[in-house]
Structure 1
Amino acid sequence: MFKYISCCLLILMVRNAEMHSYHLGACPTVEPQTDFRMKELLGIWYVIEKTSTASSCMVYNITESDEPYEYVIEEISQHFLLALTPLKHGYHYRGTLRVPDPAVPAKMTVSFPLSVAGTSSFTVFMTDYDTYAAIFTCQKLTFAHRQSATILSRTKTLDRMYIDKIRSRLSQSQIDPFELSIIKQNDCPKNASEGFNININNYSVSAKGAADVIRKAGEKLGDGVEYISGKTKDVYNKITSDSQEVTTYGKREDYTRSVKSDVEWLP
């Protein structure tokens, strides 16, 4: 069980190291959507592009919570590290969205379990609610910041016209659109809850327990990621220095970038 939890948290750390880019200075200013209506943003969104990730079949589900001006965001995806095992896996990561200023509802904060660095900004800067949406998140660090942009669609594909429009807006805000990776939405499980699932939410792991597991999991990084099958006890190893190739497109259609599976202590 401990090795299972270690593997889960290791995947969590790698996942969050991927999905951001790091820059010096303060977070860039991204203007939020005007006349924003949060209720129309609720529901299922397919992730079409996202900053530096090797995950696939990524879906967001945004729902209301019991608290006013508070929402739940759940990310469901398939991570490339999970492909090292012979089982079907679904990765679930649940966080909380909050609206600090109801006068600017498109400018929110987001917090996730095990986050040592605290909350991040979460800005919806473009959407028509029915077809596409675009999100920018940023988290302040001591002398820098880490940022992530996400292009969403109500369907598994999105017309290039909308993608170009969003990428152009990112460029205008001094955010490099070529840091975005294409998220594969083909050959995905019809039901995200099928098979073996990794669920991480605010109630799954205590702070002290998580810290112990993360520390011990980190000790295993030199040997790679280890998975032990419950039935056969077969051991599958993948050295963390290996790379996963991620494709981007735009003016650099043939450009591929290797995302290294480094360990990151900040969700």
Structure 2
Amino acid sequence: MARFSLVFSLLVLIICVDSYRRRPEDKTKCPLVKAIRNFNVEDLLGKWYVIEYYASSEEALAYRCMRADFTMSSNDVITMNFTYSFTDDPINEQLLGNITWVIPNPAEPAHWAHSEDTYEGVYNTYVLDSDYISWALLLHCAEKSKVPRYLSSFIMSRESTLGINVISYLRDKLPRYDIDVSYMFNMSQVDCNGTNFSDLPPTVLLNIDRPNGISSRRHPMKHHHG
């Protein structure tokens, strides 16, 4: 009888655990992220190439040639200036963007909060891992009440290429944060010089078939809620 009770209790426990695991995740909330320990922000500063890119709102890669330059001011404000172009732009115009963060808790310097007023709700960035000299992995998450959260991630490298083993190692860290790595796209870093409009004669400009309003599109770090 005691053995039956033990087996029954184990079955109930297994059913409860399985039921808990199958509960639908709250897609309006950012995942719980444990930022890396002993992180040194200053070692991450400088120039990076974005090697792979993910955004939960995109099912195809819209960008190419994305590069970032991180700086930090004396009041611990982190700024990322970045360049990129759109994959469907036939002349590969190089566009500029920037975003700034503050470190809300000095004890967790790998967690940054976006400081611009234009970002509604909560918008956090986490450095998930980095060796500082070669590669880094960033996760961004925005949430606003009653709408789906926005997740994005960068795999970055100090060089324009990164070894496949390192990429696999970093990709393996993402599914726990509900990132579908099948939508983690390679970011082309080839032919990234772009074209200077001022160097093109008017007759050439008139014959270029470019998507309308390409320069005014939302840049990669801007999110939108459905």
1:184 to 171, 185, 188: 188
2:62–2:88 Cα contact (<8 Å) kept: no
2:128 is the alignment partner of 1:125: yes
1:26 and 2:39 are equivalent in the alignment? no
- Please name the residue that 1:231 is paired with: 202
Distance 1:107 1:196, change over 3 A: farther
Instruction: Show structure 2 runs of 5+ residues with no match.
Output: 1-25, 214-221
Between the aligned residues of both structures, percent identity stands at: 25
Partners of 2:121 and 2:144 within 8 A in 1: no
Partner of 1:201: none
1:64 to 54, 72, 79: 72
SS at 1:166 equivalent = helix
User: How many aligned residue pairs are there?
Assistant: 183
Tell me, yes or no, if structure 1 residue 167 matches structure 2 residue 175: no
Give the drift of 1:160.
1.0
- 1:195 aligns to what? 196
2:12 paired with 1:40: no
Work out whether residues 90 and 196 of structure 1, in 8 Å CA contact, stay in contact via their aligned partners in 2.
no
63, 70, 86: which one pairs with 1:79? 86
Paired residue type of 1:266: H
CA distance in 2, matches of 1:64, 1:265: 23
Q: Which amino acid aligns with 1:234?
A: L
Task: Find the aligned partners of 1:150 and 1:174 in 2 and give their Cα distance.
Answer: 15
Corresponding residue of 2:5:
none
Would you say the 8 A contact 2:70–2:78 is kept in 1? Answer: yes
1:120 to partner: Cα distance: 1.4
Deviation (angstroms), 1:162: 1.1
Question: Is the CA contact 1:94–1:112 (under 8 Å) kept in the aligned structure 2?
Answer: no
CA distance in 1, matches of 2:95, 2:192: 12
RMSD: 2.9
AA aligned opposite 1:142: S
Answering whether residue 63 of structure 2 is matched by residue 55 of structure 1, we say: yes
Bigger radius of gyration, 1 or 2?
2
CA 99–116 in structure 1, closer or farther in 2 if over 3 Å, else same: closer
More strand by share: 1
Cα distance in 1 between the residues matched to 2:122 and 2:78: 14
Q: Structure 1 stretches of 5 or more lacking a match?
A: 1-22, 198-228, 241-263
TM-score normalised by the chain length of structure 1: 0.61
Distance 1:111 1:131, change over 3 A: same
Distance between the aligned counterparts of 2:83 and 2:102, measured in 1? 20
